[in-house]
Amino acid sequence: MKRPSPRPTPPRSPAQPISPSTSKTKSRTVKPGARGTMVPKEWRDDVDRVLITPRQISRRIRELSTEISRDFSGREMVVVSLLNGTVLFLADLIRHLSLPLRLDFIGVSSYGAGTESGELVFTKELRLDVRGRDVLLIDDILDTGRTMMRVREILTPLAPRCVRTCVLLDKPARRVESIQADYVGFVIPDLFVVGYGLDYAERYRNLPFVGVLKPERSSPA
């Protein structure tokens, strides 16, 4: 998909709110059955195919960081990242952000040992004060929307100036809550994916690509 040329955006004064319509970069849609690179031999027993390559991830993160830096120009934001799946995405993204920021984490788990979404369990609370500050909330994947909706409900009483959301992957086919992310890396079909921080039973997070897990690997023994 050809990316339209971004319009020049004038610097914002610290008091000017961020418009919810500032996002200009279109997310990349990954089509079902799209051919990817060959799965590395050490992962072929577990991964059916590579859905998004390391090169595609790197290029898209640079685009996202450029867009976020432009939208938050002249401001100091608080980056709030949801543990644990965001770690790789977060590290690569903030290294490319050319603006001052503070970083904090919320620990939340919505998956047990299986592939179905379960009850949310919060394992770490926010430490930084976000009152009156611009918050960028980062997650690895937006699927049902329950996690993102619940975290936003927690942040709202803390009175941030604004909350924008950024996800590596968006899986709209699974959505049950009316919520969308402001910044999206890739829109993917309804496939169970692992790698680049995403896991199954706490495995596969270290894969440098996003791959489709073989059905037999995600089925109960």
Based on its alpha-carbon atoms, the radius of gyration of the chain, rounded to whole angstroms, reads: 17
Q: d(Cα 160, Cα 166) in Å, to the nearest integer? A: 16
Q: Are 58 and 210 in contact (CB under 8 A)?
A: no
From residue 77, give the alpha-carbon distance in Å to each of 47, 64, 101, 123, 177.
37, 16, 5, 23, 26
Q: Among this protein's residues, is 190 annotated catalytic? A: no
Q: Which residues pair with 107 in a beta bridge?
A: 83, 124
Q: d(Cα 62, Cα 94) in Å, to the nearest integer? A: 10
Q: Please give the helix or strand (H or E) that residue 209 lies within, else none.
A: none
Q: d(Cα 75, Cα 110) in Å, to the nearest integer? A: 32
Q: Are 53 and 170 in contact (CB under 8 A)?
A: no
Say which of 46, 92, 140, 143 is annotated catalytic. Answer: 143
Cis preceding linkage at 206, omega within 30: no
Q: Are 90 and 138 in contact (CB under 8 A)?
A: yes
Catalytic residues: 143
